[in-house]
């Protein structure tokens, strides 16, 4: 039986080694001490996306601070499938839903992009980061997706890696049925990216460029128009269930700490 | 080429026949006149879930009211796949996301249920209804899912239709990989329901009962714990892509108006 999971799990940036105390942030210390009423000797889970999840003992320091010392590995580090989400910037609340769900569904990197028809306010990077971290903390994950700064779709396509396939959610409806297309493509075992557009869709020039790239698999997400956030979540779920680890389970990292 | 869609689309309850004016609600009239600055002779789309979508001409009445008169069918009525969503009550904001996405992804009925571990505030039926209608209006749908009053999971299972299958999203992880299981089951062409639990999952008694029902297909949604709303949206997308109309396109109703 796997060890019991801790109720409170916190993401930290520091390396996690048994016996080496980690200084928690002021916000984390406040949350533990004031919100959750934890005190010296209480246990929490700690993870950093590299060293698995550790059971740690907390110790308060002065009036506001708190350290946590790992002592037992309770969940080995696993690799999130090599999937990126390339999503056009959309309205803040919808982008927040996408970031949260991308963390839960298991995405390695989130690349917000500006497209020709993008008409959204600047994204709040810190808030989006906090949302992905909270999703990872609450859902028992050991990794948080890397959130990149927004760039132009054109720029990201200019430097697109030759081997990384693109699941292009083509709102024109001209793409193939998603599951069948993904099942054929899954045999290749390539890294992937799911690409979703802004509320107004992709421009004809963007569509033409995407369709001309050998990496692109254009798929249809059905006869109904989906909002951008719904399309992103649906495509991630379909990809995970066909090409990702929903079938096989997570892959243990070879270099996992013991 | 299909006729141009109208930018403004409104859901009404009245029958839609050419030449027969429909009195819009006070809120709809306010939205058209004050928010969107529309006036006599302007065009909108109207749908009611039965008669397809019609292009209609608006005419203001007095200071506050407005009627819309259908004159051209622009989208025939299609049937949403025979899929129910049975979802345990969850936190309001998350239930609202589920209702919106269920409308977009194409669900015929939404049945909120109370389970043993349900620990959520009472749902706001009117607000949820408004959310499903807004999703249908904005996403070009011709149907709105029927939202039922909450009932106990036990009660709904007591009267469960013999032929309706249940896609049981089993957070224990013991279920089969979703896509493969659905592809085998899809050959039967049965009506279905997707069932998702509350934040605390199903109780052992509920799980045992569900697993004992011949209609149940227990599936796993991968190795990561998904929040209840993420599980519902993912399961609906998987179902639509394998058993629904994401492959074949919408089914025209035999009795569609011409």
State the helix-helix crossing angle for A228-242 and B178-185, rounded to 10 degrees.
90
Which of B60, B77, B94 corresponds to the end of one domain?
A: B77
In a mutational test of the B interface, the residue from A170, A224, A235, A251 whose CB has the highest number of chain B CBs within 10 Å is A224
Residues with Cβ within 8 Å of A248's Cβ and at least 6 positions away in sequence, in order, are: none
**Residue B129 burial by CB count (10 A; 0-12/13-18/19+): exposed, middle or buried?**
middle
Pair (B184, B95) in one structural domain: yes
Residue B251's pLDDT is what? 55
pLDDT the model gives residue B252: 56
- Specify the CATH number for the domain of residue A194: 3.40.1280.10
pLDDT in tens, A70-124: 999 999 999 999 999 999 999 999 999 999 999 999 999 999 999 999 998 889 9
Provide the pLDDT for residue A200. 86
Give pLDDT tens digits for A61-70. Answer: 898 899 999 9
Does residue B211 sit in the same domain as residue B117?
yes
Contact A249 B106 (CB under 8 A): no
Evaluate whether residue A25 is within a structural domain.
yes
**Does B44 map to a domain?**
yes
Answer whether residue A250 shows pLDDT above 60: no
Q: What is the mean pLDDT of residues A140-150?
A: 96
Instruction: Please state the rounded mean pLDDT for residues A207-231.
Output: 95
Yes or no, beta carbons of A246 and B222 under 8 Å apart: yes
pLDDT (0 to 100) of residue A2 = 53
Question: Higher-confidence residue: A180 or B113?
Answer: B113
pLDDT in tens, B116-139: 999 988 899 999 999 999 999 999
Nearest Cα of chain B lies from the Cα of A41 at a distance, in angstroms, of: 27
Could you tell me which chain A residue has the CA closest to the CA of B222?
A246
Does B188 have pLDDT greater than 70?
A: yes
Query: Do B88 and B121 have their domain in common?
Result: yes
**Least CB-CB distance to A246: which of B221, B237, B246?**
B221
Residue B251 in domain: no
Band the pLDDT of A258: cuts 50, 70, 90.
very low
Residues B191 and B229 in one domain: yes
Find the mean pLDDT for residues A162-186. Answer: 90
Q: Which of B77, B102, B135 is the last residue of a domain?
A: B77
Query: Which of chain B's residues have a Cβ under 8 Å away from the Cβ of A249?
Result: 223
Over chain B, what HEC string results?
CCCCCCCCEEECCCCCCCCCCEECCHHHHHHHHHHCCCCCCCEEEEECCCCCEEEEEEEEECCCEEEEEEEEEEECCEECCCEEEEEECCCHHHHHHHHHHHHHHCCCEEEEEECCCCCCCCCCHHHHHHHHHHHHHHCCCCCCCEECCCEEHHHHHHCCCCCCEEEEECCCCCCEEHHHHHHHHHHHCCCEEEEECCCCCCCHHHHHHHHHCCCEEEEECCCCCCCHHHHHHHHHHHHHHHCCCCCCCCEECCCCCC
Q: Does position A20 have pLDDT exceeding 60, yes or no?
A: yes
* Residue A169: per-residue pLDDT: 93
- State the ipTM, two decimals: 0.92
Query: How distant is the Cα of B240 from the closest Cα of chain A, in angstroms?
Result: 8
Do A84 and A133 lie in one domain? The reply is: yes
**Helices B228-242 + A178-185 axis angle, to 10:** 90
Which whole number is the average pLDDT over B142-149? 96
Mutate to test the interface with B, among A2, A139, A230 (most CBs of B within 10 A): A230
**Within this chain, do residues A53 and A161 fall inside the same structural domain, yes or no?**
no
Our CA-based measurement puts residue B239 at a distance from the nearest CA of chain A, in whole angstroms, of 10
Domain boundary among the residues A47, A75, A103 is at A75
Provide the percentage of residues in chain B whose pLDDT is more than 70. Answer: 95
Give the model's pLDDT for residue B213: 98
The confidence score (pLDDT) of residue B148 equals: 96
Residue B185 to chain A, least CA–CA distance (Å): 15
- Residues of B with a Cβ under 8 Å from any A Cβ are 78, 97, 101, 104-106, 135, 138-141, 177-180, 220-227, 230, 233-234, 237-238, 240-242, 244-247, 249-250
What local confidence, expressed as pLDDT, does residue B254 receive? 45
Q: Which residue range(s) make up the domain with A63?
A: 9-75
Residue B120 resides in a domain = yes
| Phi/psi of residue A144, nearest 5 degrees | -120, 135
Does B166 share its domain with B56? Answer: no
- Give yes or no: residues A24 and A126 share one domain: no
The residue of B186, B199, B220, B237 whose CB has the most chain A CBs within 10 angstroms, and thus the best one to mutate to test that interface, is B237
> What is the number of domains present in chain B?
2
The band of A256, judged by pLDDT with boundaries at 50, 70 and 90, is: very low
| B142 and B233 inside one domain | yes
Tell me, what CATH number does B54's domain have?
Answer: 2.40.240.20
- Tens of pLDDT, residue by residue over B152-173, are 999 999 999 999 999 999 888 7
Residues of B in contact with A241 (CB under 8 A): 177-179, 221-222, 238
Same domain, B16 and B101: no
User: Do A207 and A106 belong together in one domain?
Assistant: yes
Per-residue pLDDT tens digits for B67-121 = 999 999 999 999 999 999 999 999 999 999 999 999 999 999 999 999 999 998 8
């Amino acid at each position: 039986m796997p060890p019991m999971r801790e109720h409170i799990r916190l993401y930290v940036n520091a390396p996690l080694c048994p016996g080496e105390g980690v200084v928690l942030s002021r916000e984390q210390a406040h949350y533990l001490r004031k919100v959750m009423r934890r005190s010296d000797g209480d246990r929490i889970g700690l993870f950093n996306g590299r060293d698995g999840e550790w059971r740690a003992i907390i110790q308060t320091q002065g009036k506001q601070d708190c350290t946590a010392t790992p002592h037992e590995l309770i969940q080995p580090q696993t690799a999130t499938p090599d999937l990126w989400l390339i999503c056009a910037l959309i309205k803040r609340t919808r982008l927040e839903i996408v970031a949260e769900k991308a963390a839960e569904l298991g995405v390695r990197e989130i690349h917000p992009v500006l497209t020709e028809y993008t008409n959204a306010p600047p994204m709040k990077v810190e808030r989006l980061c906090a949302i992905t971290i909270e999703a990872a903390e609450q859902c028992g994950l050991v990794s948080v997706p890397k959130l990149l700064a927004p760039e132009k779709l054109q720029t990201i396509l200019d430097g697109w890696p030759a081997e990384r396939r693109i699941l292009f959610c083509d709102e024109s409806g001209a793409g193939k049925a998603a599951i069948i297309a993904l099942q054929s493509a899954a045999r290749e075992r390539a890294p992937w990216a799911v690409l979703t557009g802004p509320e107004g869709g992709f421009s004809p020039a963007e569509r033409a460029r995407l369709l001309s790239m050998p990496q692109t698999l254009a798929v249809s997400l059905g006869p109904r128009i989906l909002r951008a956030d719904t399309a992103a979540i649906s495509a991630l779920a379909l990809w995970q269930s066909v090409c990702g680890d929903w079938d096989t389970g997570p892959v243990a990292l070879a270099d996992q700490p013991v």
